[in-house]
Chain A
Amino acid sequence: MNNTLLLSSSPHIRGRDTTQRIMIDVVIALVPAVISGIYFFGSRVIMVVLITVISCVISEYASQKIMKRNITISDFSAVVTGVLLALNLPPAIPLWIAAVGGIIAIVIIKQMFGGIGQNFMNPALGARVILMLSWTQHMTNWINPKVPDAVSSATPLIYIKKGQEIMEGINRPDYIEFLLGHAMGSIGETSVLALLLGGAYLLYRKVISPAIPFSFIGSAALFSWIFGGNRPFTGDFLYHILAGGIMLGAFFMATDYSTSPVTTKGKIIMGIGCGIITIIIRLYANYPEGVSFSIILMNLLVPLIDKYTVPRTFGGEGRGG
């Protein structure tokens, strides 16, 4: 008789989802944003995306090789980081800075903290912030969409700083332009429509749940409406959520699994935190844009949020823990 039967603990069947499939879904969801980036800022964008992706994948391979870990580049998570990093860079970024960004993201922020699932902040955002502090000039060198290497100027968010009168007639794009992608900004921030398309795909595929993007965008809208104007409740909230990186941040950055809470309640807290901090930075701090900082700040709070949002067991009385 057969004495080589496999013994293992149930369940004996598994679902079809894999880490790789999820990462590929994220890449698919980012395609519209990449295409719109290329369309609005020219073919240079292709180079930026290629450089960051290659830099991320090679960094992952090399660091895992050096640290004698399993090579996991086939899970596509480094590709996702690469594409996200590119979308967070200005179109005119020198290519070598983009490459450095990939190394920072993977080696310092991801692998040094244990690799996939262990990083305490979003690698692409972490890299963006480090690049921003290191090469501020290059990182804030915005160009007008559709007219490559034309005028360098400030991000549209400069117009909504608290205390400054909105300068009439100066290039301030209208809502429709934001929606389509006529605003200056990072490669991936320009077209809200493309980001919404990708976000909808992620929701449809259940890669992300609506908790973070909806609470992020909702609270940003609410707080900019209350505090964004000269008098309370007069803020131009539509302008706030369409301009800058909120859509990219809400659907693609704040939803990063490793650096967001695991329960729905926790995710809502995370989203609201991101929304409020973004608006505070935009209105009252030195930087014109607050999305990256708000997400990173909330990333650091995730362990705490997870700790205090342990759900009640089904049928249970008190809170768990």
Chain B
Amino acid sequence: MLISKKIFGGGVTVPHRKNTAQCETVKMDVPEKVVIPMLQHVGAPCQLVVKKGDIVRVGQVIGISSKYVSAPIHSSVSGTVTNIVQVINSSGMYIDAVEIKADGKQEIHESVKPPVYSNDAELLELIKESGLVGLGGAGFPTHVKLAPQVDKKIDILIVNGAECEPYITADYREIVENSWNIISGINILMDLLKVDNVLIGIEDNKPEAIKVLTDLANTSDKINVVKLKSRYPQGAEKMLIYSLTGRKVPPGKLPLDVGVVVMNVNSVSFVAEYVKTGMPLIKKRVTVDGPAVMNPSNVEVLIGTPLGDVFEFCGGFKTEPYKIIMGGPMMGVAQPSLQNPVLKYTNALLAFDRESGELPKESPCIRCGKCVKACPMNLLPLFLNLNAIHGNIDGLKKYNAMDCIECGSCSYVCPAKRHLVHSIRLGKALLKKESMNKT
């Protein structure tokens, strides 16, 4: 085990609340029906390849796209396609979704079999076909990340086990329960990427996870587990790369520009599992927690399961849920309805009651500078806030709005309770709109 001496500037100390750290993953029953949207990743949405009335099986492809930045979508149950519906996704867009009534038999589609590959290109194609997207919460198609770069040399693979958000323990449970899968996934990816330096970053508040992986990693001198300081947003890609390697990803650039590929522990583990079984991405470990939840748990859920069913499985609600969040409390997305489905990159479902979910009232900025200190990207959130609410394009550019990673540290620390990130998001949208108008 190594100990990282570097730490990014800024960030905040958030409360831990890892209530489910000791909750072994329990498998949820097959739901009555699933709703599977055709966009569950960053990039182009998929086209439906099934229609109403079709019989589908587990692992069958139901959505594909010809676009490169996309990932196919598979059925998570066996049953009948009962409807093509539309769901509202987190950006407020209507997305086509397949509604499948499950027959409960979970018959597996004939295409699902241990894959055979003889070279890197074939493996990469397989990873694309598996439907894998970044499971840490961002949902970027994995095959794009792993594709060989003509002019860029990758020399480090970073495995992200930092898990800096409060509540979420999905990555932690993966490390504790499936550590071997992670190591074999790393070996597959090392071959594919031709790297012989792997750094697994874990925050120091998860000693058991560090111990488990360190013991396994000791079998190889190429894999190192690195203990990181617990500081939000340690799991953010740019922060993690800096803490582990000292390399800084320039604004507008990607990790591969500094020779690094970052993968979430669950994604790495999935690669190993897929190469063994050929079962595409149809299920997810989801941490279910929050003040309004009866039994906080880690649940293995089929993708497309309605959120309400998952909460039901965890004993329902203690108190009337006031806000449902997919993801962590710092970066997660509030959900409009309990009918909405679990997605590929869902790693947590949180239910807040009125007291914990109510937003504090905004008061005038007192220029205390706490947001400036908290911003890990060195931005000046208070000025971005002003320029965003006044729609000042030049100001947004001057203060580098596009470099905001939306980690929420500024809003978290603001004593005046200003909705800083929220306004910066709007500001970024304004800038995007403006640049589209220009072209």
Residues of A within 8 A of B (CB): 1-3, 5-15, 17-19, 21-22, 72, 75, 77, 115-118, 209, 257-258, 260, 262-263, 306, 310-317, 320-321
Assess whether B422 is in contact with A9, with CB atoms less than 8 Å apart. Answer: yes
Assess whether A11 is in contact with B417, with CB atoms less than 8 Å apart. Answer: no
Assess whether A314 is in contact with B363, with CB atoms less than 8 Å apart. Answer: no
The distance in angstroms between the C-alpha atoms of A59 and B423, with both chains bound, is: 33
Q: A321: which B residues are within 8 A, CB to CB?
A: 398-399
Assess whether A116 is in contact with B333, with CB atoms less than 8 Å apart. Answer: no
Q: Contacts A262-B380, A310-B398, A320-B400 given; indicate if A315 touches B250 (C-beta within 8 A).
A: yes
Interface: B339 (CB within 8 A)? yes
Interface residues on B, range: 35 or more
CB distance from B287 to the nearest CB of A (A): 15
Assess whether A6 is in contact with B323, with CB atoms less than 8 Å apart. Answer: yes
Q: Which partner residue on chain B sits nearest A13 by CB separation?
A: B329
Assess whether A313 is in contact with B251, with CB atoms less than 8 Å apart. Answer: yes
The distance in angstroms between the C-alpha atoms of A5 and B413, with both chains bound, is: 25
Q: DSSP class of A's interface residues: helix, strand, loop or mixed? A: loop
Q: Which partner residue on chain A sits nearest B257 by CB separation?
A: A315
The distance in angstroms between the C-alpha atoms of A260 and B368, with both chains bound, is: 9
Interface: B308 (CB within 8 A)? yes
Interface: B12 (CB within 8 A)? yes
CB distance from A113 to the nearest CB of B (A): 12
The distance in angstroms between the C-alpha atoms of A15 and B350, with both chains bound, is: 18
**Among B250, B339, B359, B403, contact of A1 (Cβ-Cβ < 8 Å):** B339
Interface: B352 (CB within 8 A)? yes
Q: Contacts A2-B320, A19-B366, A117-B366 given; indicate if A11 touches B329 (C-beta within 8 A).
A: yes
Interface: B344 (CB within 8 A)? no
Q: Which partner residue on chain A sits nearest B232 by CB separation?
A: A11
Q: Contacts A11-B412, A75-B363 given; indicate if A314 touches B8 (C-beta within 8 A).
A: yes
Assess whether B166 is in contact with A10, with CB atoms less than 8 Å apart. Answer: no
Q: List 27 A-B contacts (CB under 8 A).
A: A1-B308, A1-B337, A6-B357, A6-B358, A9-B421, A11-B408, A12-B329, A12-B330, A12-B352, A13-B356, A14-B417, A17-B370, A72-B364, A117-B366, A257-B366, A262-B372, A263-B369, A310-B398, A313-B251, A313-B400, A314-B8, A314-B238, A314-B248, A314-B378, A315-B248, A316-B251, A316-B378
Which of A2, A10, A19 is the most central at the interface, judged by chain B CB atoms within 10 Å of its CB?
A: A10
Interface: B126 (CB within 8 A)? no
Interface: B216 (CB within 8 A)? no
Assess whether A262 is in contact with B382, with CB atoms less than 8 Å apart. Answer: yes
Which of A2, A12, A75, A306 is the most central at the interface, judged by chain B CB atoms within 10 Å of its CB?
A: A12
Q: Contacts A5-B322, A14-B412, A75-B363 given; indicate if A313 touches B372 (C-beta within 8 A).
A: no
Q: DSSP class of B's interface residues: helix, strand, loop or mixed? A: loop
Assess whether B357 is in contact with A116, with CB atoms less than 8 Å apart. Answer: no
Assess whether B364 is in contact with A115, with CB atoms less than 8 Å apart. Answer: yes
The distance in angstroms between the C-alpha atoms of A235 and B383, with both chains bound, is: 42
The distance in angstroms between the C-alpha atoms of A19 and B362, with both chains bound, is: 11
Interface: B2 (CB within 8 A)? no
CB distance from B408 to the nearest CB of A (A): 3
Across chains A and B, which 10 residue pairs bring their CB atoms closest together, nearest first? A11-B408, A315-B248, A9-B422, A17-B415, A262-B369, A13-B329, A12-B329, A6-B323, A313-B403, A311-B378
Interface: B334 (CB within 8 A)? yes
CB distance from A313 to the nearest CB of B (A): 4
Q: A320: which B residues are within 8 A, CB to CB?
A: 398-400
CB distance from B368 to the nearest CB of A (A): 5
Q: Contacts A310-B399, A315-B238, A320-B400 given; indicate if A11 touches B331 (C-beta within 8 A).
A: yes
Q: B323: which A residues are within 8 A, CB to CB?
A: 5-8, 12
Assess whether A10 is in contact with B308, with CB atoms less than 8 Å apart. Answer: no
Q: B325: which A residues are within 8 A, CB to CB?
A: 10, 12
Q: Contacts A1-B337, A117-B366, A316-B250 given; indicate if A10 touches B332 (C-beta within 8 A).
A: yes
Assess whether A8 is in contact with B399, with CB atoms less than 8 Å apart. Answer: no
Assess whether B320 is in contact with A10, with CB atoms less than 8 Å apart. Answer: no
Assess whether B363 is in contact with A15, with CB atoms less than 8 Å apart. Answer: no
Interface: B411 (CB within 8 A)? yes
Interface: B202 (CB within 8 A)? no
The distance in angstroms between the C-alpha atoms of A312 and B9, with both chains bound, is: 12
CB distance from A94 to the nearest CB of B (A): 32
The distance in angstroms between the C-alpha atoms of A6 and B380, with both chains bound, is: 29
Q: A10: which B residues are within 8 A, CB to CB?
A: 325, 327, 329-334, 406, 408, 421
Q: A14: which B residues are within 8 A, CB to CB?
A: 360, 411-412, 414, 417
Assess whether A12 is in contact with B364, with CB atoms less than 8 Å apart. Answer: no
Assess whether A317 is in contact with B250, with CB atoms less than 8 Å apart. Answer: yes
Assess whether B338 is in contact with A117, with CB atoms less than 8 Å apart. Answer: no
Assess whether B166 is in contact with A13, with CB atoms less than 8 Å apart. Answer: yes
Q: B365: which A residues are within 8 A, CB to CB?
A: 117
The distance in angstroms between the C-alpha atoms of A300 and B322, with both chains bound, is: 46
